[in-house]
Structure 1
Amino acid sequence: MRVASGFTSGFDADIVRAWIADDPDPVTRAELSELLEAATAEAGPASAEALADLSDRFSGPLEFGTAGLRGEIAAGPHRMNRAVVIRAAAGLSAFLAEHTQGGDAGSGADAASGAADSKPFTVVIGCDARYGSADFARDTASVVTAAGGRALLLPAKLPTPVLAFAVQHLDADAGVMVTASHNPPRDNGYKVYLGTRPLTALDGPEPAAHGTGAQIVPPADELIADRIAAVEAVASVPRAGSGWESLGSEVVTAYLESLARLAAVADPRGALRIVTTALHGVGATTLARGLEKAGFADVLPVESQRDPDPDFPTVAFPNPEEDGALDEATALADDVTADLILANDPDADRLSAAVPSPDGSGWYQLSGDEVGLLLGEAVALRLAEAEAPSDETAVDSAEESPVDSDQDQRPVFASSVVSSRALAALAERHGIAHTPTLTGFKWISRVPGIVYGYEEALGYCVDPDTVRDKDGISAALLFAAYASRLRAAGRTIPDELARIRATDGVFRTQPLTFRLEDTALIAEAMAALRANPPTELGGSPVTEVVDMTLGYGDLAPTNGIVVLTQTGDRTIVRPSGTEPKLKCYLEAVEDVEHVDPELAAKDPARADPHALVGPAWDAAGGRLTVMAADLRAFFRL
C-alpha cells in the first residue's frame, strides 16, 4: 500500500493500520495501536477522545516548508517521529542527488555553471538534546549514506550555530539540524540548510554566493517537499547500518576560532562579572569556552539550568522572551552582584541580555530591538576602526563613522520588516546601507553585502561570512565585549542606548501576542483587519494600511498587514510562522529635542542623553499603551 497517498481529513482505520505496519519505531507503533484500539472500542468519552486524536494525527502530512519540519513528538503522519523523519531524509537526499550530480539539474543554470559533478553530495547533521533528536539525526545519516551521499554526523547536543557554521566550513551541500529551538518540550523539528552546489543548480552562481550556508527558501522547500511526498513507504527507503562519518570536537574548536574575526575581547579596564544561562539547552559549554577565549574570567553559569534537559523543568516555556524565564538568572545575579546576564535559548541561536536597572530597582531585560541596536552600533564602530584606525577608542569618541560613500560599495545592515526602524537610522548615520527583509534569517542572511543582521525575536547575525544564520553564541561574545569597552570608558549599556537615541531619535517598540489554539480565529482576525481596519491607533489618525500579501516596498508578498499613523507610528500584524499565535509589532517614534550648545555649556545636565531622551521615551510609551488597548478592543481578544 502507498501509505503517503492515504492521508485524509478524518479517521480511516485501514490507513492507520497501514501506517503502523510501515512505522520502523516499536514505540510509536505501540502508541498508535493502543490509540486505534481505544478509538474502535465501544462508544463513549474515551473512544471519542481517541477518535479525535487519530483524526488530527492523520489530517495530513506534517508540512515541510522553509522552516523544515516542526511539530509535536508523537506517532502518525502529522507529528514528529522516526517515520516522518526518514521520509524527509529520503526526500532531501533525492533532491540533493538531482541538484548536485546530474538528473534534471544537468540542464539550465546547473549545466552552464558546471555545478553538477560526480562528487557525492555531502550532508552535515547536528542535533540538540530534545526527545528524539539523536535518533532523528542518526536516521538522517543512515538514509543519506544509503542514498550514496556522504553523511557527516556532529556530536550530539550541540548549538544550531555550530551546524550552520559547519555547512560552510566543511563545504557541505546541505545541513540538517534536529531542533525545535525554544518550542515547548513536547516538540521537535528539522531545519535544512543548503550549500553552494544545489543553490547554483537552482538559481545560478550569484544567488548561491549570497545564500550558501543559509536555511532553505523557495523553490528549494517546494522541491524537497515534492520529493518527500513521492516516498511510497518507509519500508521502501534504503537505510545503511553504518558508513557515515562521526565527527569530533574539532568542528566546535574551528567554530570558536572563527569568532576571533569579531575582535570581541574583554577590555582589561572594564572587567565584568557575567551570569549565563542555557535554559536547559545545549549552549552552556560552547558559550563558556567562547567567553574564556575572549578574556572574560568572571563568568558564573546558572547551575540548575546548565545541563541539557528535554523537560526544561525550571521554566514554563524555554524561551528567554517569556516572562519568568530569567528568574533564576536574575536571582543568581543579585546574589553575586553581577554586571551582565547573558541568556541563550535551548539551541543557542538566540540571545537575551539583562543589565542592572539605572534606578537600582533590579534587572532590566533588554528587548530584541535594543540588543539589535547595540550590536549594530558595535559592528558599525568596528568597521569604522578598520577603515580609519586611531589612538582613540570608538566608544570614547562616539563620532560619526562613514564607511564608504559609494552606495554600491557600502556594507549593508539588514533587519526583518517587523523589527525596529532604529537600525536604519543608525546605519544612515554611519554611512551604511540598510535593507529590510521578510521575517526569518533565511531572508536576512541572503542580503547581498550584509555585514550584520537581526530580527526582534532575539536573533542576531554578527558574522555572516562565517555563520549565515542567527547565532546566540557570537552575539553574546560581541555584546559582552561592547559592555566591557563601555565600562572601561566609564559608561553603561543604558548610557549607550540613551546616547544613540539622543542622536537618532526614539523608536520604542512593544510586542503584543495573542495565543489562539484555534488557528481559524487567527485567519478570521486577519480577514477582519483587512476588511475594516481601524481609523485611529494610539490617538493618531491612521494614514495608510498596506496588505502585505500584495507586496510591501521591495518585499515579496507575505501574510501581514501594516498600519501607519500620522505621528509616524507603525503596527504590523501577522500570524506566527511556527506557533498558533497572532503577533502584533508596535512601534512609536519621537524626535528628541536638542539643547542649544551655549545653554548646554552653562548647564551640562540639560545636555545629558538620559535627560534629553526621557520625555520622548515617555511620550512614545504612552502611545504604545493606547495602541495595544486599541488592538485588543479591535480583535476582541
Structure 2
Amino acid sequence: MDTQLKFRVKHWLDNDPDPRTRQELQALIDTGNEAELQQRFSGRLAFGTAGLRGVVKAGPMGMNRLVVQQTSSGLGAYLMQQVSDVATRGVVIGYDGRHDSKQFAHDAAGILTSMGINVYLTCKIAPTPLVAFGVPHLNAAAGIVVTASHNPPQYNGYKVYWGNGAQIIPPHDSGIAACIDKAATQKVRLHTLEEAKASGRLVMLEDDFYQAYRQGIKDAPVLQNHTQPELVSLSYTAMHGVGAEMAETVLADAGVTQVYSVAAQREPDGDFPTVNFPNPEEKGAMDLVIAEAKKHDAMLACANDPDADRFAVAVRTKAGDYQMLTGDQVGVLFGHYLMTHAPETNRLTCTTIVSSSLLSKVAASLDATCLTTLTGFKWLTNVGMAEQTEDNQCLFAYEEALGYMVGSMVWDKDGLSALVAFAQLTAELASQGQTIWDRLEAIYRAHGFHLNAQVSIALKPTTPNIGEHLRKALPKMIAGKQVLSTDDISSGARTFSDGTTESIDLPASDVLIFKLEGGARVIVRPSGTEPKIKCYYEVVEAMNDTDTLQSVQARAQTKMDEFIAAHQASLPQ
C-alpha cells in the first residue's frame, strides 16, 4: 500500500467512532485489498443540493458515523457564519426507519449541541415532511433529515433544509461543502445524548410535535373539501417506511373510513423484504397494494415512498383492473382540482422544465399563474416562495417524479397531504357519479392528450460533447418537425426559428429545450459526470369526438415511439 493511502487509512481508523466500520476497514487491510481501499479513499462523498446520499460503508466515500459527524460539524460552522442567532433558533433533526438512521441523527445532534447550537430531535422515526414542517413551525435556523428516501436498502442520506423550510440551493450547498472539507481535517467533538440533554441544548420532539403536523393538515385551507369522504375506498402501503401511522391518522381525520393498509409493508423495515427496490415507480413495487385494493374492490391503491414525501396511486378501471397514474397525470389532476377550488388570491402553481407542459395550459385557462423552474423540488419551493405575493399565494407545486406540494404548510414535497387531497378529489367526483378517469378525459379533451417519456442514452466515451455539438449548429428540424424555438438554459437565451431571441430567467444549467410544431418537445440534458444524456420527450395529440382515452393514448404512443427513434438516430453516436 502506498504511503499516502496508508496514512489516510490510519488517520481514519484513529478517528472512526464505530467499531463495525473500523473492523470493515481492518479486514480490507488484512486481506490486502488495495483496490477497494483506493476507491474508498479516492475523495469524499460529495455534499450537494440534495445533501449527502450513498452506500453505508467505511471510509470517506461512504455514509458512516464519522462522515455524518464531520458533515454536521461543517454544517454547524456554516450556520454560525450565516445565521447570527443560530445557537438559540437551533436545528430540527429527524430520521427514517433505515438501520443506521437513528444513530446518524443522534450523532448530528451530539455534534451541534457540543458547538453550542440548540437541537430539536424527533423522539422516534419521522416522515420527511414533518421535519420540513418543523423548521418554520419552530422558527429553527435549519433542518436535517437522515433518510435515503426510496433508494435501495444499502443506502442512507443526509438532507438539509434552510430556515425558510425549503431544501438548500446554491450558494449554501457549496458553502456547507467547503466547511465540511475543513471540519474533516480536525478532530470532531460531540456530546452523548445524555450530555446534550444535560447541557440544556437538546429538546426532544415528543408526540405534541407530531400532533401539530396532524392538526396542520386538518386545518390546511386546501384540505377542507369534505364532500362525502365515506364514498372513497383505498388500499395503502407505507412500503416498509415511516408513513403508515400518520397516513392512516390524517385520512381518518378527513373522514375517509374505508382504508386498507398492506400489513406486510406497514412497519418500518430497513431491509425492505417485500420489494426489490422501495420506489413506487419501479416495476413490481405496487403489487401488494394493488392486490389489497382488488381484495376490497377499492377505488384507489395508494403508496408513499419509505420517507413519505412522495405519493403514488393506481386507479380502478371500468374493467376492474388497476392502472398506475404517471406523476404528470397526478400533477395535472391536482393542479386543476386545486385551482378550481382556490380563492383568487391563491393561484400560483409551479412545475419543472421536464414535467408535462399541460399544467401551464390548464393554469392559463383558469386565469392562474404557472411558473416553470429547473428540475428538483428545491427550485420549485424556493422560486414559489420568492414569486408569491399577497394577492397571488403559492397553491401547488409538482415534479413528474411523484413529488407534490399541496398548499404551503410544508415547503417541500409531502406525500401525506397529497394522499388526503387525492382522496378528497376522488370523493367529490364520486359524489357526482364520476371517476378520476372522467376528470382526466375532460382535461385532455380541453387541452389535448399529453404523453411524456424519458430516455437515458449511454454514449461511447469517444462521443463528442452532445450539448456543444447541438449548440454549434442548432437543428432547424427534429424528427421531421420544424423547431419553433430553442431554449439554451446554459446561456439563458431562447432562439426562435426566425432568428430572433429573448432571455430566459432561470439559473444556468446544461439543458437544451426544443419546441416543435404540433406541440411536441424534446429536452436534452447531458450528464456532467458520465458519458450519457437524458432526453425528455412530449407529444400532444388532439382528442376527437369518437376518441376514448385508450384510442388517443394508443395514437400518441405510436407518435412517441417514432419521435424517440428519429431523434436518437440524429444524435452523434
Matches for 1:508-547 after TM superposition, within 5 Å: 508-513=451-456, 537-547=478-488
Provide closer, same or farther for how the CA distance between residues 536 and 305 of structure 1 changes in structure 2, counting only shifts above 3 A: farther
* Contact kept? 2:87, 2:118, Cα under 8 Å: no
Partner deviation per Cα, 1:256-295 (whole Å, 9 max, x = no partner): 1111213355532761221001111111111010101000
Give yes or no for the alignment of 1:381 onto 2:340. yes
Which residue of structure 2 aligns with residue 396 of structure 1? Answer: none
Q: Which letter maps to 1:411?
A: R
CA distance in 1, matches of 2:2, 2:304: 39
Q: Secondary structure at the match of 1:171?
A: coil
Q: 1:219 aligns with which of 167, 171, 180?
A: 171
Give yes or no for the alignment of 1:245 onto 2:203. yes
* Contact kept? 2:229, 2:256, Cα under 8 Å: no
For these two proteins, the number of residue pairs brought into alignment is: 547
CA distance in 1, matches of 2:460, 2:57: 20
Q: Which letter maps to 2:170?
A: P
* Contact kept? 1:123, 1:150, Cα under 8 Å: yes
Q: Secondary structure at the match of 1:311?
A: coil
Q: Secondary structure at the match of 1:550?
A: coil
Provide closer, same or farther for how the CA distance between residues 521 and 587 of structure 1 changes in structure 2, counting only shifts above 3 A: farther
* Contact kept? 1:95, 1:224, Cα under 8 Å: yes
Q: 1:314 aligns with which of 268, 274, 290?
A: 274
CA distance in 1, matches of 2:531, 2:214: 36
CA distance in 2, matches of 1:311, 1:333: 24
Which residue of structure 1 aligns with residue 501 of structure 2? Answer: none
Q: Secondary structure at the match of 2:396?
A: strand
Q: 2:114 aligns with which of 143, 146, 155?
A: 146
* Contact kept? 1:538, 1:624, Cα under 8 Å: no
* Contact kept? 2:114, 2:196, Cα under 8 Å: no
Partner deviation per Cα, 1:275-320 (whole Å, 9 max, x = no partner): 0011111111110101010001110011111111111111111110
Q: 1:556 aligns with which of 479, 500, 507?
A: 507
Q: 2:40 aligns with which of 57, 60, 63?
A: 57
Partner deviation per Cα, 1:225-259 (whole Å, 9 max, x = no partner): 11111115463434353222211121211111111
Please report how far the alpha carbon of residue 540 of structure 1 lies from its aligned counterpart in structure 2 after TM superposition. Answer: 3.0
* Contact kept? 2:354, 2:536, Cα under 8 Å: yes
Please report how far the alpha carbon of residue 510 of structure 1 lies from its aligned counterpart in structure 2 after TM superposition. Answer: 2.0
Partner deviation per Cα, 1:544-595 (whole Å, 9 max, x = no partner): 55443223622111132323323221122336799998533211013345x6
Give yes or no for the alignment of 1:267 onto 2:221. no
Which residue of structure 2 aligns with residue 603 of structure 1? Answer: none
Q: Secondary structure at the match of 1:585?
A: strand
Give yes or no for the alignment of 1:16 onto 2:9. yes
Which residue of structure 2 aligns with residue 461 of structure 1? Answer: 405
Please report how far the alpha carbon of residue 62 of structure 1 lies from its aligned counterpart in structure 2 after TM superposition. Answer: 1.0
Provide closer, same or farther for how the CA distance between residues 565 and 118 of structure 1 changes in structure 2, counting only shifts above 3 A: closer
Which residue of structure 2 aligns with residue 99 of structure 1? Answer: 82
Which residue of structure 1 aligns with residue 499 of structure 2? Answer: none
Provide closer, same or farther for how the CA distance between residues 304 and 454 of structure 1 changes in structure 2, counting only shifts above 3 A: same
CA distance in 2, matches of 1:304, 1:581: 38
Which residue of structure 2 aligns with residue 353 of structure 1? Answer: 313
Moved more, 367-376 or 266-275: 266-275
Which residue of structure 2 aligns with residue 451 of structure 1? Answer: 395
CA distance in 2, matches of 1:527, 1:135: 46
CA distance in 1, matches of 2:488, 2:40: 33
CA distance in 2, matches of 1:528, 1:278: 45
Q: 2:245 aligns with which of 285, 299, 306?
A: 285
Q: 1:38 aligns with which of 31, 43, 52?
A: 31
Provide closer, same or farther for how the CA distance between residues 9 and 286 of structure 1 changes in structure 2, counting only shifts above 3 A: farther
Q: Secondary structure at the match of 1:245?
A: strand
Q: Secondary structure at the match of 1:12?
A: helix
Provide closer, same or farther for how the CA distance between residues 427 and 65 of structure 1 changes in structure 2, counting only shifts above 3 A: same
Give yes or no for the alignment of 1:180 onto 2:148. yes
Moved more, 485-494 or 519-528: 519-528
* Contact kept? 2:406, 2:417, Cα under 8 Å: yes
Provide closer, same or farther for how the CA distance between residues 523 and 555 of structure 1 changes in structure 2, counting only shifts above 3 A: farther
Q: Mind listing any 5+ residue stretches in structure 1 that lack a counterpart?
A: 1-7, 40-49, 102-116, 196-211, 388-402, 404-408, 596-605
CA distance in 1, matches of 2:149, 2:317: 29
Which residue of structure 2 aligns with residue 87 of structure 1? Answer: 70
* Contact kept? 2:55, 2:62, Cα under 8 Å: yes
Spell out structure 1 runs of 4+ moving beyond 6 A. Answer: 8-11, 518-523, 531-535, 576-581
Which residue of structure 1 aligns with residue 329 of structure 2? Answer: 370
CA distance in 1, matches of 2:526, 2:102: 31
Please report how far the alpha carbon of residue 34 of structure 1 lies from its aligned counterpart in structure 2 after TM superposition. Answer: 1.1
Provide closer, same or farther for how the CA distance between residues 143 and 415 of structure 1 changes in structure 2, counting only shifts above 3 A: same
TM-score, structure 2 normalization: 0.89
* Contact kept? 1:127, 1:133, Cα under 8 Å: yes
Partner deviation per Cα, 1:478-518 (whole Å, 9 max, x = no partner): 0010001100100000000011111222222123345x6x9
Which residue of structure 2 aligns with residue 573 of structure 1? Answer: 524
Matches for 1:473-492 after TM superposition, within 5 Å: 473-492=416-435
Give yes or no for the alignment of 1:436 onto 2:372. yes
Q: Which letter maps to 1:422?
A: L
CA distance in 1, matches of 2:274, 2:113: 39
Provide closer, same or farther for how the CA distance between residues 445 and 11 of structure 1 changes in structure 2, counting only shifts above 3 A: same
* Contact kept? 1:96, 1:121, Cα under 8 Å: no
CA distance in 2, matches of 1:352, 1:521: 39
* Contact kept? 1:145, 1:239, Cα under 8 Å: yes
Q: 1:235 aligns with which of 160, 182, 187?
A: 187
Q: Which letter maps to 2:215?
A: E
CA distance in 2, matches of 1:636, 1:281: 43
Q: 1:66 aligns with which of 49, 52, 74?
A: 49
CA distance in 1, matches of 2:131, 2:477: 46
Moved more, 345-354 or 260-269: 260-269
Moved more, 291-300 or 88-97: 88-97
Which residue of structure 1 aligns with residue 299 of structure 2? Answer: 339
* Contact kept? 1:10, 1:56, Cα under 8 Å: no
CA distance in 1, matches of 2:78, 2:54: 23
CA distance in 2, matches of 1:479, 1:9: 59
* Contact kept? 1:266, 1:480, Cα under 8 Å: no
Identical columns (%)? 38
CA distance in 2, matches of 1:134, 1:579: 33
Q: Mind listing any 5+ residue stretches in structure 2 that lack a counterpart?
A: 389-393, 494-503
Provide closer, same or farther for how the CA distance between residues 12 and 288 of structure 1 changes in structure 2, counting only shifts above 3 A: same
Q: Secondary structure at the match of 1:511?
A: strand
Give yes or no for the alignment of 1:297 onto 2:265. no
Provide closer, same or farther for how the CA distance between residues 566 and 520 of structure 1 changes in structure 2, counting only shifts above 3 A: same
CA distance in 2, matches of 1:339, 1:93: 47
* Contact kept? 2:526, 2:532, Cα under 8 Å: yes
Give yes or no for the alignment of 1:587 onto 2:546. no
TM-score, structure 1 normalization: 0.80
Provide closer, same or farther for how the CA distance between residues 461 and 590 of structure 1 changes in structure 2, counting only shifts above 3 A: same
CA distance in 1, matches of 2:485, 2:66: 48
* Contact kept? 1:10, 1:55, Cα under 8 Å: no
Q: Secondary structure at the match of 2:88?
A: coil
CA distance in 2, matches of 1:89, 1:136: 10
Which residue of structure 2 aligns with residue 417 of structure 1? Answer: 353
Please report how far the alpha carbon of residue 78 of structure 1 lies from its aligned counterpart in structure 2 after TM superposition. Answer: 1.0
* Contact kept? 2:69, 2:107, Cα under 8 Å: yes
